[in-house]
Amino acid sequence: MRVVGANPLLLMARLARCGLFDDHVVYERPGSWTFAGGVLGEVVLDARPAGAENIADGRPPTRSGTLRTWWDGGERQEHAWSGRPADALDEAFRSCPFPQWNAYGWIAFEFAGPRHRGERLAHLIVPRTEVRVDAGEAVVTSVNAAEAERVATLLAEPGEPRPGTPEPVEVRVGGDTYRARVARAVEEIGAGRYQKVIVSRRLPISFPVDVVSTYVRGRSANTPARSFLLRLGSFQATGFSPEVLACVDATGTVMTQPLAGTRAFGRGAELDAATRRELETDPKEIFEHAVSVRTSQEELNRVCEPDTVQVTGFMSVKERGSVQHLGSSVSGLLAQGRTSWDVLDALFPGVTASGIPKPEAIDAIARLEEPRGLYAGTVLTMSHDGAMDAALVLRALYSDEHGAWLRAGAGIVTGSTPEREYEETCEKLSSIAPYVVPLP
């Protein structure tokens, strides 16, 4: 059906609020918006806490837990898993009984392990109904004809929902604790424990949040590489991802887009130009970006055909809401026998949200921070034909039965200072903090 002149962002908000779908995911790619609603199939991956006996004798804890699957018309299945979490998800979707399917959902930062703490690692659904809006045309696909008709009627209704009024969240709090974490990380880098680590801080919100209105307000003010809105179970999140963690098309072309190096943006043409020049010439920012691109190349070389990995647009400036970054694209051709799950395993977590080398950086994050959950994880879509699109979850709001919060981090390398890195987290939080809408 045609929806000429309709704002796709507001159409997504209308669908999220319509009451037909308890569980749903909205995922935006350039020029295309998809709403996935209802549950036709579900895959949930939980971690089992590491055994004390493994920790006591110094051996790495076993990566293991519980995999739960459900496909429409069948019984809910529960299996133990161990080894790579990506292999557990691959196995789950190989059991999907539908010849064609798309899956949508999220993966937590702790998916990377190896120290699982009993958290939920992944939650994905195959939806009953999908609505894709592209170039002014909405395509509704559903296994339920009556539901498809109701959705089409809803899309055709005149008028647009008005989002609530934001109540900006103060971002300049908790500075002393964060600066102390940065100082500790700088000491560990100086001692040669790792080259780079992203240290983040969690910012609780003191009021219940209207997540859908926050998505509309925030997306209208941001220029993300991807955006998303989701509610799966009691967990809700929305965000404006500055970078693509991984993209694999049906032909096997693989791409990742590391961003590293940050300065404020949106403070006027003259000041933005000055900070851009500073960003492009600052040795610390250039080093941080270069080592991130090198790591992305090494990771894609593990899953791509030899000599196909290349870098394009090296160190170009990407404007993302209240900040601007140095960005590059790294791409290659998927090797024979490799899958999108292998690509995810190779690239996850994003180097620009973890550190270098990754194992040592992940270990440092576990020492310096509380569990991250979805922050620095991914919201993604997967398809039966092997295609995948995964956004790095930054510039996001999170909400569950305990409350709502924001989170942001900064890349710590040799030459980092606690005050500058704290300021960078404030700049990043300002991409979403002014647009948080309270529940009425």
Could you report the per-residue pLDDT of 254-265, keeping only the tens digit for each?
Answer: 999 987 767 777
Question: How many Cα atoms occupy the beta-carbon half-sphere of 359 within 13 Å?
Answer: 2
User: Whole-angstrom Cα distance, residue 171 to residue 191?
Assistant: 31
Interval 95-103 mean pLDDT:
95
Res 415 pLDDT > 90:
no
According to the model, what pLDDT value does residue 5 have?
57
Highest mean predicted confidence (pLDDT) among 71-80, 276-285, 288-297, 323-332: 71-80
pLDDT digits (tens, 9 = 90+) for 191-223: 999 999 999 999 999 999 999 999 999 999 998
Query: For the chain, percent helix, then strand, then coil, each to nearest 5?
Result: 30, 35, 35
User: What would the mean pLDDT of 41-69 be, rounded to a whole number?
Assistant: 71
> CB within 8 A of 57, min separation 6: which ones?
none
Contact between residue 397 and residue 237 where contact means Cβ atoms under 8 Å apart: yes
CB-based contacts of 108: which residues, under 8 Å, 6+ apart?
119, 120, 121, 122, 372, 373, 374, 377
**Mean pLDDT along residues 79-103:** 95
Whether pLDDT at 372 is above 50: yes
Separation between Cα atoms, residue 154 and residue 158, nearest integer Å: 9
Q: Is 243 annotated in the active site?
A: yes
Reported as a single tens digit per residue, the pLDDT across 308-353 is: 999 987 877 776 766 777 878 899 999 999 999 999 999 999 998 9
In the block, residue with structure tokens 């030459």: 415
pTM: 0.91
DSSP state of 176: H
Whole-number pLDDT of residue 1: 56
Given a contact cutoff of 8 angstroms between Cβ atoms, the answer to whether 256 and 247 are in contact is yes
**Whole-number average pLDDT of the chain:** 90
Sequence-distant (6+) residues with CB within 8 A of 39 are 23, 70, 125, 126, 127, 128
The strand order across the sheet containing 396-400 reads 137-142, 129-134, 32-37, 24-29, 226-232, 235-241, 396-400, 403-412, 196-205, 355-356
Write the single-letter amino acid at 8: P
Mean pLDDT, to the nearest integer, of 125-132? Answer: 97
- One of 130, 243, 421, 424 is an active-site residue; which one? 243
